[in-house]
Amino acid sequence: MHKTMLLDATKTFECRFSTGIQRVVRELVRRSDLIGAALGIEVVPVVASGRGYHRLDAAGLVRLLEPAPGTSGKMIAQSGLVRRAKELLQSNMSLYATMQRFSMRRRLAALTADLPLIDVGPNNIVALIDDFAGGVPSLTAIGTARRKGATTLAIIYDLIPILHREMVPRPIAYLFKRAFEQLAGRVDGLIAISQSGADLIRAQPAVRNAGVPVTSFYLGQDLHITPGEVASTTIPDAVWRDGPTFIMVGTIEPRKRHAAALKAFSKLWEDGVAANLLIVGRIGWEVDAFIEAAEQHPQYGKSMFLCHQVGDHELRAAMARADATIMASKAEGFGLPIVESLAFGVPVLASDIAIFREVAGAAGRYFPPDDTDLFADAIRQFIEHAERYRAAASAFAWIDWDGSATEFATAVRLIVDSARASA
């Protein structure tokens, strides 16, 4: 009989970022008691090191649940020698993976030195709810836990590095695919964050070969504006003037198609259409050309704005104040800004991909992801018929994070029951 479930939040504990996966990890960890009550067991947040799983103390929980203070979104220029050395290292994927694993283990060894180890065995469920690639010791730890009799499972947020290798840096694609194939053989079940995501996971050869069951749950939303919160500190007031404001939220990277959005808005600006584009997100990879083009655009600082250091409170206020949210991705695991915006009654314009249709349904306005003209037309149509879109957004309903945690518990129970039946 299981007595304790360990929630492995290693990567979020180590990096302290505040992007998609880390936000989900924190919301689930905050609801450990709710998940535990649904399953009838104790739920304990843990981090993995080369020695095993560590129970977090009070200070550890603070580190996990509070993102690191924002740092500059500007990319640090690297010398030609440094870039060549990095490219040379990344050209040898095996060496690169070894270096990543060594670096991660060294950092986590220092961070967990004073945290108590947990003796894992048949009484435990181990749930890897965090990133599992990039050298994180969670892969080794979950394999060891299963050999010791624990029931093991993991959340898979997306398969973009496998299904769309061209959209991510080569090292990330390599490391993710290798880690995913290893993980499939070390767990009793996998949990997707959408039904369409679950279908894609089931189709993977590593999953079929391992005979791993796959279930799913939905991410939640709990956005609200607290009276007295500072509405804006880094987003300029000009964002909200002279026309409707469209916001894009998320790391700036090629697959999010910020460049396509800028082209679509440029068409409208050339036609004299008044509209503002606000892009909020940290700078990711392979976007140097876009950042340079954006900052040299005639509308930069007038109708187009880049903000890289926006805090959570300010982001909530901006999302609630925007006239519409744009999600232009060609591939996505879920699209959390969609449900967050619609929860505020803010309409969403989204690229026509399966996961966005699944999440937004009739509340979304869709455009083909590769057609800039139709992208611009969707924006124009919104401006001309804004009330129609607001009505659709207001009718949208979605679960909050308590509901998401309850769905997660149900998914866990299905995997545990499946593992027990096949034992």
pLDDT attached to residue 273: 97
Per the DSSP assignment, residues forming a β-bridge with 152 are: 126
pLDDT attached to residue 74: 42
CA dist 372 → 38, 247, 260, 396 (Å): 47, 17, 6, 27
* Count of Cβ atoms closer than 10 Å to residue 275 Cβ: 21
Q: Whole-model pTM? A: 0.90
pLDDT attached to residue 75: 37
Helices 372-384 + 386-394 axis angle, to 10: 90
pLDDT attached to residue 172: 85
How far is residue 80's CA from residue 180's CA, in Å, rounded to a whole number?
33
Domains and CATH numbers, the chain: 4-220+401-422 (3.40.50), 237-394 (3.40.50.2000)
Q: What are phi and psi of 346, to 5 degrees?
A: -95, 125
How far is residue 241's CA from residue 192's CA, in Å, rounded to a whole number?
41
pLDDT attached to residue 230: 53
**Pair 265, 328: CB distance under 8 Å:** no
Tracing tokens 């740092």 back to the chain, one arrives at 71
pLDDT attached to residue 32: 98
Considering just the CA atoms, what is the radius of gyration of the chain in Å? 22
Q: Which two tokens stand for residue 30?
A: 């905050």
Average pLDDT per 10 consecutive residues for the chain, totaling 423 residues: 92 89 95 98 97 97 86 40 51 71 90 96 98 93 97 98 90 91 98 97 98 97 61 83 95 93 97 97 88 96 93 87 97 94 96 96 93 96 95 94 98 96 85
pLDDT attached to residue 156: 98
